[in-house]
Amino acid sequence: MKKVNLILLFTLLLGCTAYLAYSSDNANVEVLPALSAPKDLPDFTLNDIHGKANSIHQLAQNKPTLFIYFNSTCHLCQEELGKISERIDEFKDYNLIFTTVQPKEEMIGFVEELGIKDKSFVHFLLDADMNVASYYQIRSVPSIFCYNARKELIAEYVGITKIDLLLENLGRGK
């Protein structure tokens, strides 16, 4: 019995040692997540909060674009958009497109509270038919997509994302 226990103990120790050696060798390797969103900014036409139809491509122009799918009742979205609005002037060289499936009446107060809707580079669009949500296969909000000036996806995030990281990605997209 002692011999069996010793063999098991030795095997366990050997396995643990091998695992620790493997994990320490790979500790400095940065694994980047694969981008799963469509690689190009889609060109849907959606109504803004004033009822005017807008092409996403026309709003993006030829500038890096931050495309955010959100819901005004989501506390994570409230926090993320609140942080963006606090630093809105740092985004002036880019285009921000905020899109939601909510009816205008449900989100207009939230948009007003942010105090950024009148900025020329900020756009709020309503995805009433859920075409954009289906295209992106939105499963959680906020869903954030960074596109370069050629409208190619360079980064995507779900949930609260550091503003500095968003600005860094947009800056790389010029």
- The pair of three-digit structure tokens given for residue 67, joined into one six-digit string: 């495309």
Residue that wins the pLDDT comparison between 20 and 42: 42
Residue 33 scores a pLDDT above 70: no
Architecture, CATH, for domain 45-172? 3-Layer(aba) Sandwich (3.40)
Residue 37's pLDDT band (boundaries 50, 70, 90)?
confident
Residue 80 burial by Cβ neighbours in a 10 Å radius (0-12, 13-18, 19+):
buried
Question: Could you tell me if 64 and 174 are in contact, meaning their C-beta atoms sit under 8 angstroms apart?
Answer: yes
What secondary structure does DSSP assign to 41-91, as a single string? ----EEEETTS-EEEHHHHHTTS-EEEEE--TT-HHHHHHHHHHHHTGGGG
Residue 3's pLDDT band (boundaries 50, 70, 90)?
low
For 19-32, the three-class secondary structure string (H helix, E strand, C coil) is HHHHHHHCCCCCCC
pLDDT of residue 29: 35
pLDDT of residue 38: 83
Provide the CA 104 distance to its chain's centre, in angstroms: 22
Put simply, whether the predicted model's pTM sits higher than 0.85 gets the answer no
Digit-coded pLDDT (tens) for 73-92: 999 999 999 999 999 999 99
